[in-house]
Amino acid sequence: MAFLPNHARGGIPIALPDPARFARLTDGRTIDERAESGRQARAAVPRSAHGDWSPAPDRRSAVDLLDEQNADRIPWLVPIRHGRMLASAFAFYRGAARVMAADLATTTSTGLRVQMDGDAHLANFGTYASPERQLVFDANDFDETLPGPFEWDLKRLAASVAILGRERDIPRREVNDMVAFAVATYRQGIARFAQMPVLELWYRYLSLDAFERGEYGPVGKRGKRVLGEVAHSAYGHDHLQALRKLTEEVDGKLRIRHSPPLLLSLRDLDVGQDPDAIADAAIATFEAYADTLHDDTRSVLERFRPLDIGIKVVGVGSVGTRCLVLLMEGHPRDDPLFLQIKEATTSVYEEFLEPSPYDHHGRRVVEGQRLAQSVNDIFLGWTTGPEGRHFYVRQLRDWKFSVDLATVPVDELRNYAALCAWTLARGHARSGDAVAIDAYVGPNDRLDRAISAFAQDYADLNAKDYEAFRAAVHDGRLEAAPDH
C-alpha cells in the first residue's frame, strides 16, 4: 500500500490502491496485448477467408424464414410489408435481415466483438439533430442491435452496396471498386480511431458543419451544394412539418389524422376494448417509459401534455410490428412533440449468437444505440405495453433525413458508401476494441478484396431469394398489397 506525502493533502495520508485491482473493473490489457489478440484472430481466420463463401447445402428457404416472422405481426399490415419488399431486390434485402443473419452464422468469425448495428445497409444511415442542435450524420436504425463479430456488420453494409449498384445498372467492375473503397474506408477509419485518445473518440461525431469546413477531407463546390441541399431537406423534417402532415383539427382540437392504411388514429379504430381501459394502459405504459429517462429530460417531458395517439407504418422490415405515434403539445398550437413508440422484438441475431444481456428488448435497442451512436436523442427510452410487449421510444422527426439512393449520382454514391463505412467504423471503435480490429484488418487491401468478393456472391444469392419471394407472392403463398 502506498501513501502520498502528508503535505500533499494537509497532512492527511491518502491510500492508493494497487493498480492491478482496477484491472478487474476495466479491460486490464495493454495496447500491445490488445493488438496481439487481433493478430491471433488473423492467424485463426485469415482475411482472405471472408471471400471464400457459398450458401450452406442445407440453407433454409428465404421465403420460409420471412413467413415465420409474420406470425407475431399485425395480420392486416403483413401484405403491406410484402408489397414494399416487392419493389426491388434492394427493398427485399432491406426486409430480409433475418435471412442474412442465418447466412452470416455459417461464415467464419473473427471473434472480435462490437455492438453490432445489426442492419447496417446503406438506407439505415442519415441525419438527425443532436441535443446541441447540430445536424449529425450517423446510423439511425438499431432494431437488430446485439454484440457480435464486427465483420457481420461490415458484410451487410458491403452487400447492400453491391445490390444497390446492380439495381442502378452500374457496371460490375465499378460496383466492385465501390465496395472495395467502402471497406478500405472502414479499415482506415479503424486505424485512425485505434490511435485516438479514448475521450476524443467518445466525443467524436460527424456534423455537416464540420464536413463542410473540410475537417473530413476537401469539399468542392459541388460537394458544398449537395451538403446544402441535404441540410435544407433535413431542417424541414421537424415536429412542425409532422404537425402539418400527420394531424388534423376536429372540433377545435388537434388529433392524429386517420389515413389508412399507413396512418390511423386509435380513436377511429374498433379494437374491441373499453376506451377507459385503453387509456389506463396507455398511461401506465407512458409512466414506465418516463422512468427510463434522465431526470432533466423527464422534467422537459412533463411540460408537454398528450393529445392523441395513432398507428404509423414505417420502414420495410419493421412493417407489421406495432408502431405508435404520440402527439403531445407544449404551448398551444405550434409547439408539438411527436414520440414514436416502436415495438422491439428479439433480434434476428439472437438465433445464432448469445442472447441479449438485457431481458427487455426495448432496453436492448436503447442501450445498443447509446453505445454505438455518436450522440443520442434525449427522449430515447423503453417501456412495456399491453400483453407484455416490449417497446422503445424516440422522437419521430427531429431533422431526420435519408439520402435518396435511387437518384444520387454514381460518383456521389461511391462517396456516400464510404461515409457510411467510416461511420460504422466509429461505432465499432466506440463499442469494441479498435486496437484489436486494426491489428486484424491490417494496412493492405486483403480484407477489401475478400469482402468485395463476398458482397458480389451475396448479391447473386439475394437476387435468387428475391425471385423466389416474387414467385411466392405470384403463387398466392404470400399476400402483397400496395401501401396506398
Same domain flag for 350 and 426 = no
Q: Which residue has the cell 445497409?
A: 121
Query: CB neighbours (10 Å) of residue 96?
Result: 24
Whether 447 is covered by a domain: the verdict is yes
Whether 480 is covered by a domain: the verdict is no
Domains in the chain: how many in total?
3
**DSSP sequence for 307-353:** EEEEEE--SSTTBTB-EEEEEEESSSSS-EEEEEEEE----GGGGTS
Note the pLDDT of residue 207. Answer: 80
Same domain flag for 155 and 247 = no
Pick from 395, 418, 442: which residue ends a domain? 395
Strand intervals (E) in 365-440:
381-384, 390-395
Same domain flag for 224 and 273 = no
Same domain flag for 22 and 146 = no
Walk along the chain (484 residues) and give the pLDDT tens digit of each residue: 444 455 555 555 556 666 666 555 567 789 999 999 999 999 999 999 999 999 999 999 999 999 999 998 989 899 999 999 999 999 999 999 999 999 999 998 999 999 999 999 999 999 888 888 888 899 999 999 999 999 999 999 999 999 999 999 999 999 999 999 999 999 999 999 999 999 999 988 888 777 777 666 556 666 667 777 777 788 888 888 888 888 888 888 888 988 888 888 877 766 555 656 666 677 778 889 999 999 999 999 999 998 888 888 888 888 878 888 999 999 877 889 999 999 999 999 999 999 999 999 999 999 999 999 989 999 999 999 888 999 999 998 888 888 889 988 888 899 899 999 999 999 999 999 999 999 999 999 999 999 999 999 999 999 999 999 999 999 999 999 987 7
Could you tell me which residues come within 8 angstroms of residue 344 by beta carbon, excluding any fewer than 6 positions away? 143, 360, 361, 362, 364, 365, 382, 390, 391, 392
Note the pLDDT of residue 1. Answer: 42
Pick from 368, 395, 422: which residue ends a domain? 395
Same domain flag for 344 and 374 = yes
Domain assignment of residue 373, given as a range: 239-395
Q: Which residue has the cell 465501390?
A: 178
Same domain flag for 185 and 258 = no
Same domain flag for 56 and 122 = yes
Whether 483 is covered by a domain: the verdict is no
Whether 105 is covered by a domain: the verdict is yes
Same domain flag for 129 and 64 = yes
Nearest Cα to Cα of residue 108 among 475, 456, 477, 454:
454
Note the pLDDT of residue 180. Answer: 97
Same domain flag for 207 and 105 = yes
Same domain flag for 213 and 248 = no
Same domain flag for 310 and 377 = yes
Three-class DSSP category at 111: coil
Enumerate the β-bridge partners of residue 263.
Answer: 259, 312
Return phi, psi of residue 311, to 5°: -110, 130
Whether 481 is covered by a domain: the verdict is no
Pick from 395, 414, 430: which residue ends a domain? 395
The rounded distance, in Å, linking the Cα atoms of 194 and 442 is 12
Same domain flag for 249 and 133 = no
Cα dihedral angle (458, 461, 465, 471), rounded to 10 degrees? 150
Assess contact for 403 and 416: CB atoms under 8 A.
yes
